[in-house]
Structure 1
Amino acid sequence: MKILLVEDDRTIASGLEYSLKQEDYVPLLCQNAASATEVIHQKIDEIDLCLFDLNLPDGSGYDLCELVKRRRDIPVIFLTAYDDEVNVVMGLDMGADDYITKPFRIRELVSRIKSVHRRYTRQTQPKNIIEIDNIQINILDGKVYKNGQEIFLTALEYRLFLIFANHIGQVLTRAQLLDRIWDVGGDFVNDNTLTVYIKRLREKLEDNPQNPTLIKTIRGMGYKVGE
């Protein structure tokens, strides 16, 4: 797997580069936004995943993430020294797939890389049936089953749950969810309406809606289905 690594701290960068090579990855190391931008323009089709430091001497990981996502849908993980919710949510809203806060252990980073890459691999494989625990979605029929019994969902409930099903293990912010569903089919969905639909899905699909284990709330960030 070829990984675009952008980190301006030379000590951290060299350590990450060495560790990634030890895991049989092929890191492309850049230490500023300008050189990373050049690599993205020239080699985007060769890159499998991106690791972007948020704060760079001549730009930010946000800008690089936006550039990558415009050109190709590949995973982006942010390396950040900040763990406050504003920076995390902003990154997720821009399309980042995960983030890891410095300092971190290399094993944790490798685990995140593998998890995100598996998620993308699953998404690129066409499936007619999606299974999440005891829930089954039949894409061809547009039906949802729980323990083999069909669960009736409205059109918007189904579209919302399908968004989650297509992003297993990924934290989706409320802004991302609203952006994907509000104008589909001419339905208007605002923030309050989204809360209602999340509640309805839980009531229909969770074993215990008061203690949801399927559609999990990630405090301060959004929601996640699956690991």
Structure 2
Amino acid sequence: MKHIFFVEDNLSLINGLSFAIKKQGYKIDVARTIFEAEVLLANNKYDLVILDVSLPDGCGYDLCEKIRKTSKVPIIFLTAADEETDIIMGLDIGGDDYITKPFKLAVFMSKTNALLRRSCNFIQADTELNSNGINVQLLKGEVYKNGEQLDLTTSEYKVLCLFMENPHIVLSPEQILSKLWDCNENYIDKNTITVYIRRLRTKIEDNPSEPQKIVTVRRMGYKWNAVDGGV
């Protein structure tokens, strides 16, 4: 049975979502403060975290960053903070999806189920990716270039893994968005993808101004140019 952790202080929302989640056959724990959440996280293992941003004793972004220091558990932000900068921040610090209130319950449950399926597939997949001098330790969430560890944000890490898992395949910005975040383009647009790729190139390319690993395919998108044949 999948175990879901819901961090939210709105009692009516807690009751409604808890009922819907249990109806899907999942187990759920609930915390209404950062303090309660940290206690439960220290004593339980979860398959998914649903996290509000505004909590009585702190910010959900800070809790997300703490979780990401030790865990790759999928995280969905469920919040009324709907500015583009809020959404980008939530995804960039480690969120796997970002849903704004008000929301449709059917859409929320569909995204939850999809994220749990992808998480299961990720655990069952190969434990390493190797190509172009880049080594990704999937179970540890660590990336190395020629043996030296790189400091990547969660979003940069996701983009890199997607490219390395699909060598020589042109990926459009829309495909990257749909595969990584299940987000509507109204929230995370093509310019955001461009920013992530530019940042990533500065860290993995020998010469970022003339990229050889992540190459741009004019009017189509980007692809991972596996010059060494690695995958």
Distance, in Å, in 2 between the alignment partners of 1:42 and 1:173 is 36
Within a 5 Å distance, the mapping from 1:72-221 to structure 2 comes to 72-126=71-125, 163-165=161-163, 166=165, 169-171=179-181, 177=197, 180-184=200-204, 187=206, 189=208, 193=209, 200-203=215-218, 209=219
The amino acid across from 1:202 in the alignment is V
The amino acid across from 1:182 in the alignment is T
Distance, in Å, in 2 between the alignment partners of 1:93 and 1:53 is 16
The amino acid across from 2:78 in the alignment is L
The amino acid across from 1:21 in the alignment is K
Q: Per the alignment, do residues 196 and 89 of structure 1 end up closer, same or farther by CA in structure 2, a change over 3 Å counting?
A: farther
Do 2:49 and 2:74's aligned partners in 1 also have CA atoms closer than 8 Å?
yes
The amino acid across from 2:162 in the alignment is F
CA shift at 1:8, angstroms? 0.3
| TM-score normalised over the length of structure 2 | 0.64
> Residue by residue, what CA displacement relative to the aligned partner does 1:182-209 show, whole Å, maximum 9, x if unpaired?
3336x254xxx599987x4333xxxxx3
**1:8 aligned counterpart, secondary structure:** coil
Q: Per the alignment, do residues 87 and 160 of structure 1 end up closer, same or farther by CA in structure 2, a change over 3 Å counting?
A: closer
> Residue by residue, what CA displacement relative to the aligned partner does 1:159-196 show, whole Å, maximum 9, x if unpaired?
997533458711485665456553336x254xxx5999
Q: Per the alignment, do residues 173 and 28 of structure 1 end up closer, same or farther by CA in structure 2, a change over 3 Å counting?
A: farther
Q: Per the alignment, do residues 71 and 107 of structure 1 end up closer, same or farther by CA in structure 2, a change over 3 Å counting?
A: same
CA shift at 1:80, angstroms? 1.1
The amino acid across from 1:57 in the alignment is P
The amino acid across from 1:11 in the alignment is S
**1:17 aligned counterpart, secondary structure:** helix
Number of aligned pairs?
Answer: 175
Within a 5 Å distance, the mapping from 1:34-45 to structure 2 comes to 34-43=35-44
Percent identity between the two aligned chains: 29
Distance, in Å, in 2 between the alignment partners of 1:42 and 1:160 is 28
Q: Per the alignment, do residues 37 and 173 of structure 1 end up closer, same or farther by CA in structure 2, a change over 3 Å counting?
A: farther
CA shift at 1:105, angstroms? 1.9
Do 2:201 and 2:211's aligned partners in 1 also have CA atoms closer than 8 Å?
no
Unaligned runs of 5+ in 1: 129-138, 143-158, 204-208, 216-227
Within a 5 Å distance, the mapping from 1:59-74 to structure 2 comes to 59-74=58-73
> Residue by residue, what CA displacement relative to the aligned partner does 1:76-121 show, whole Å, maximum 9, x if unpaired?
0001112210100000110100011111122111111112222222
